[in-house]
Amino acid sequence: VSAIAERAGKIIYTDTDKILLSSNGNTRSIPLVMYQRSNKNTCMHQKPQVPRGKYIKKGQILAGGSATVGGELALGKNVLVAYMPWEGYNFEDAVLISERLVYDDIYTSFHIQKYEIEIHMTVEGPERITKEIPQEGHLLRNLDRNG
Give the model confidence (pLDDT) of 114-135 as tens digits.
888 888 998 988 888 877 777 7
The CATH number linked to 34 is: 2.40.50.100
Contact 7, 59 (CB under 8 A): no
Report if residue 132 sits inside a domain. no
* pLDDT at residue 144 greater than cutoff 80: no
Q: How many domains does the chain have?
A: 1
pTM of the predicted model as reported, rounded to 2 decimal places: 0.59
Tell whether the model's pLDDT for residue 6 goes beyond 80. Answer: yes
Q: What is the pLDDT of residue 48?
A: 92
Q: Is residue 35 part of a domain?
A: yes
Return mean pLDDT, the chain: 84
Q: In this structure, is residue 121 part of a structural domain?
A: no
**CA nearest to 4, candidates 67, 50, 66, 52:** 50
Structural domain contains residue 142: no
Q: CB count, 10 Å around CB of 58?
A: 11
Helix (H) or strand (E) holding 20: strand 18-23
Residue 40 maps to a domain: yes
- Is residue 31 assigned to a domain? yes
Average pLDDT of 97-108?
82
pLDDT band, very low/low/confident/very high, at 91 (cuts 50, 70, 90): low
Whether the predicted pLDDT of 24 surpasses 80: yes
pLDDT band, very low/low/confident/very high, at 2 (cuts 50, 70, 90)? confident
What's the domain range around 63? 3-73
> Does 127 map to a domain?
no
Give a yes or no: residue 8 inside a domain. Answer: yes
Instruction: Grade residue 71 by pLDDT with cuts at 50, 70 and 90.
Output: confident
Question: According to the model, what pLDDT value does residue 92 have?
Answer: 67
Encoded amino acid at 44, one letter: M
Please state, in angstroms and rounded to a whole number, the distance separating the CA atoms of residues 133 and 90: 48
Q: If pLDDT is split at 50, 70 and 90, which confidence band does 147 have?
A: low
